[in-house]
Structure 1
Amino acid sequence: MFILPRGRMLQDTRQSEIYNLLQVHRTCTITDLAQRFDVSDETIRRDIRQLEEEGFAFRVRGGVTLKETAAEAPYLVRRNQNAEKKQAIALKAAALVEDGMTILIDSGSTSYWLSRALTKPRNLTVITNALDVAREMTGRNGCKVFFAGGEIDYDYQSCFGPDTEAFMNRFTPEIAFFAIGAVDSRRGLLDFHYPEASLKAAICAQASRVVALVDSTKFERQGIIKALDFKQIDIFVTDQTPPPQLLTALNEVEVLIA
């Protein structure tokens, strides 16, 4: 169960939490949001106007509704959405990593939390295209970090494209960790960003094991582009048991619940 903190919050954090609530409930009232965050109705209305201007929601009488076609929020906002779920997933995934392994960690907010959780393994070789992951892992416990460069995408704080994919494809990691934007039981693992989905598809075959990092808000969510089939992953790490239809689709995959 996700519990919102009481008391005043920074505006960008509050807007992030409102978006998080909309991911779960689809619609919220202004009165309920004002009580949850201990702010005035007018403050919530300003937050809603900002979310609407950024294309993540739209106003309705007395409240706000999730814009179903909204793309992912910018990375620095997404990183703190559902943080407790992502941290639990990261700890479970980190337990798969042993000293001396070569691992690949792609971009994504859950990937960031995984890099934070990898405090015990020593002498890792880490390949990543994510700036935050590279910063976290560089110099830690004798780790070697190989950053797949290129043009940095500001919204994703990562590099993508043919040069990035070619660099990452030169490595043969024992585990590749992929943060997933959406999961559909009929269509597979989805994303909201073509370059990100393209990178996953291009490099997954190089890894001995592919691990998908998926928090439960992504279940049966509508992405815009397919990244991977279920058969292309080996382990599915999440924070709660997937619904029956999704479990059926994952029947050949090891599902780890954080």
Structure 2
Amino acid sequence: MAQIFRHPEILEIARQEGRVTVEDLAARFGVTVQTIRRDLADLAEAGRLARVHGGAVLPSGVSNIGYEDRRALNLEAKAAIGRACARDLPDGASVFLSIGTTTEAVARELLRHRNLMVVTNNLNIAHILAGAADCQVVVTGGRLRPADGGMVGDLAAASIERFRFDIAVIGCSALDAGGDLLDFDLAEVAASRMIVAQSRQVRLVADHTKFHRRAPVRIASLAQLDAFYTDRAPAPEVAERCRDWGTELRICG
């Protein structure tokens, strides 16, 4: 396969899996590792990827990828995470579901739950749950972010502060090796921090692609959370921190 065709495919694999490795790409494309190293060097020079030992990752930045692109990524993993998390949400609870494509997957699995109050700052989740027979849906105030239907900013945080939730289910854009949840939008993070503060239990839903991404704004630490639902085991140091902090790690397959 010619370089002009490999580069877009390499970028798509990186978007789907969070990172690429030289050995894997060489095997996929039937070329030498030296050829793949040149491809990755070219993509890094163009700012499309960032080189790491043995491969490359999506570059760090100060803005997230588009909502439609995020929604299409890792669909099966997000569905599995959504099913597992929803199974652990009891009937008769007050639940906050935050902005995110994985929290939307959780919402799809709640349609048969009974006697729920779901508060959200995500208009997509409100739309999903509008058809639930036994679910009261409350949408926070806030500034509408048209790109993804999120309600963000000080007004969203003030709305959230009026509640005390049994359980919050939140997402993040990145998870670093120190166990910090990260995001891109300061206005969204202000709401997310209030969600954590106002919830008796907090559960994170995040697929493995978040392990290899970077974002500039800190939401919280895994130490503040009760459970972490993901599709693949995180790095050993993250798993060890979860054990030390008492954060339940659920691998959803």
Pairwise TM-score range, normalised by the shorter structure: 0.7 to 0.9
Q: Is 2:99 the counterpart of 1:107?
A: yes
Letter in 2 for 1:255: L
| Residues 1:94 and 1:85: Cα distance change in structure 2 (over 3 Å) | same
Distance 1:80 1:217 in 2: 13
Distance 1:56 1:75 in 2: 21
Structure 2 alignment gaps of length 5 or more: 1-8, 30-42, 50-55
Mapped contact 2:142–2:154 kept (Cα < 8 A): no
Letter in 2 for 1:212: L
Distance 1:220 1:247 in 2: 15
Deviation at 1:107, TM superposition (A): 0.3
Deviation at 1:76, TM superposition (A): 2.1
Mapped contact 1:101–1:124 kept (Cα < 8 A): yes
What per-residue deviation string (whole Å, max 9, x for no partner) do you get for residues 34-90 of structure 1? xxxxxxxxxxxxxxxxx99xx9826xxxxxx75512432111220111111111111
What per-residue deviation string (whole Å, max 9, x for no partner) do you get for residues 160-212 of structure 1? 01111111121111110001211112251111222222211122121111001
Distance 1:173 1:72 in 2: 28
1:57: which partner in 2? 48
Q: Is 2:226 the counterpart of 1:243?
A: no
Q: 1:209 aligns to what SS in structure 2?
A: strand
Mapped contact 2:206–2:229 kept (Cα < 8 A): yes
Give 4+ residue runs of structure 1 displaced > 4 Å after superposition.
14-19, 26-29
What per-residue deviation string (whole Å, max 9, x for no partner) do you get for residues 126-175 of structure 1? 10010110001124022111101232112232110111111112111111
Letter in 2 for 1:69: S
Q: 1:168 aligns to what SS in structure 2?
A: helix
2:202: which partner in 1? 210
Distance 2:13 2:239 in 1: 29
Aligned-residue CA RMSD (Å): 3.0
1:20: which partner in 2? 15
Distance 1:25 1:139 in 2: 40
Q: 1:204 aligns to what SS in structure 2?
A: helix
1:255: which partner in 2? 249
Q: 1:25 aligns to what SS in structure 2?
A: strand
Q: Counterparts in 2 of 1:73-92, with a 5 A limit?
A: 73-92=65-84
Structure 1 alignment gaps of length 5 or more: 1-13, 34-50, 59-64
Structure with the larger RCO, 1 or 2 (CA within 8 Å, 6+ apart): 2
Aligned length: 223
Distance 1:233 1:108 in 2: 17
Deviation at 1:216, TM superposition (A): 1.1
Letter in 1 for 2:118: V
1:182 to 174, 184, 188: 174
Letter in 2 for 1:57: R
Q: 1:248 aligns to what SS in structure 2?
A: helix
Mapped contact 1:16–1:78 kept (Cα < 8 A): no
